[in-house]
Amino acid sequence: MIDRYTNKKTSEIWSEQNKFKSWLKVEIAVVKAWNQFGKISDKDTKLIEQNAKFNIDRIYQIEQETHHDVIAFTRAVSESLGPEKKWIHYGLTSTDVVDTGQAIRLKQINLIIEDDLSQILQTLARYSRKYKNIISVGRTHGIHAEPTSIGLKFLRWYSEMERNQERFESIRKRIEVGKISGAVGTFANVPMEIEEYVCSELGLSFQEISTQILPRDLHAEYLSVLSLICSTIEEIATEIRHLSRTEVGEFREGFAKGQKGSSAMPHKRNPIGSENVSGLARVVRGQMITAFEDINLWHERDISHSSAERVILPDSTEITDYILTRMDHILNNLVIDEDRIRQNLEMTHGLVFSQQVLLSLIDAGWSREEAYDTVQPITMEIWQSGNDFVDALLENKEIVKSLGLRKIQSLFDYKRQLRNVDKIFARVLGNDYE
């Protein structure tokens, strides 16, 4: 991923230095495992643990000759050792090291994403409480529908992100796995106990069955979860963008002193942060498709997945981390214009209460069809004239006769529309809601 959309911690995890470091961890763990089962002496094990190292430039130099990165790595490591070097890569195939090393790095980056998710959940919960009672117009199909609250928007995003967090915790158990099962997964040259020891030593689980590689449905599921996380962020970003439009003006991204919105138009204050994460979320979803394509490999393994994963795993994880932290920053600097929210709520002159009128007429004995066909023409006239809906209802003798003046006026009550908000909060937040 380009530096513009990468945080330092994640870029370090996917660096070449850390890749070879994770490979070396696997190789040393295997040596220690063989030692536990009496194959390698304590002396040789200690020498390997103390002295095994690598030089990246040397690895690249050897690879120019071998055209095989793992062989280049093992030879470079062997150059740092004496006769004990014969135990490096003993009984292994390349992907025992590559896939298990990759699992180490995924675990490292998963800890960062886990923290990101916890942070944005805290932010969403805080905003949902803060704006719980700020009444706004709800929109369906982009058109004013019925009253809702700004807090409910944040609560809905919180609930969705909490589900993402649960999915992420679940997939971590399946993606943070290693394999030391040999060339076709049969443990022909390495006992199963070695795999169990190595994975435990590295803080990983072991995959119960593998071929030369770990099953790639695991990685496809992992990318699916990352895509869901990023899609939720994009959903939040899209709402911010819509509510930031000049004619709406309810939300506005923070605008730093000296910040510029347009090279041509000095007045512009664009929601560039939200637009930025919207675009990056699309990249992750696109990479998810590649992960699904990687499931379909030949027999016990081909290498067609390898080149793709060198791109999609670093990029998708780095983007996920980036847009989670970027959105948290956007939210913490978000400007919410309560006056404009109120103006927009009242823009349709009470039409947001049309269903209350419809249901009250039905309760008064009207058929649904009769009530609907009476109320709808009145609402259509309000769209054209801009008059108040309540006044138009009071001019209709049949409606007044059925409902009465006080009943009609009582229907136009925002608080009544939102009387269940606390119950919704309690459902979502449970014991955390006070």
**Which CATH number belongs to the domain containing residue 372 in this structure?**
1.10.40.30
CATH number, residue 302: 1.20.200.10
Q: Average model confidence (pLDDT) for the chain?
A: 94
Question: Is 67 in the active site?
Answer: no
- Can you give the pLDDT at residue 1? 74
Q: How far is residue 15's CA from residue 227's CA, in Å, rounded to a whole number?
A: 23
Share above pLDDT 70 across residues of the chain, in percent, rounded to a whole number: 96
| The domain boundary residue, chosen from 309, 344, 379 | 344
Cβ burial 115-148 (10 Å sphere, 16+ → b, else e):
ebbeebbebbbebbbebbebbbbbbeeeeebbbb
Q: Hey, which of 3-12, 113-122, 379-388 has the most confident mean pLDDT?
A: 113-122
The pLDDT confidence band at residue 258, using thresholds 50, 70 and 90, is low
User: Active site residue: 262, 367, 385, 410, which one?
Assistant: 262
Judgement on whether residues 134 and 247 belong to the same structural domain of the protein: yes
The pLDDT confidence band at residue 260, using thresholds 50, 70 and 90, is low
Average pLDDT over residues 28-34: 98
**Residue type for position 418:** L
| pLDDT tens per residue across span 358-368 | 999 999 999 99
**Is the per-residue pLDDT at 409 higher than 90?**
yes
Judgement on whether residues 318 and 383 belong to the same structural domain of the protein: no
User: Active site residue: 141, 263, 267, 299, which one?
Assistant: 141
Domain enclosing residue 374, as ranges: 351-411
The pLDDT confidence band at residue 256, using thresholds 50, 70 and 90, is low
Which residues are 335's β-sheet partners?
252
- Can you give the pLDDT at residue 432? 74
| The domain boundary residue, chosen from 67, 87, 107 | 87
430 part of a folded domain: no
| pLDDT tens per residue across span 213-229 | 999 999 999 999 999 99
| pLDDT tens per residue across span 35-88 | 999 999 999 999 999 999 999 999 999 999 999 999 999 999 999 999 999 999
Judgement on whether residues 183 and 128 belong to the same structural domain of the protein: yes
- Split into its structural domains, the chain has a count of 3
- DSSP H stretches of helix in 244-367: 272-293, 304-332, 338-345, 354-363
Question: Is 89 in the active site?
Answer: no
**pTM, whole model, 2 decimals?**
0.93
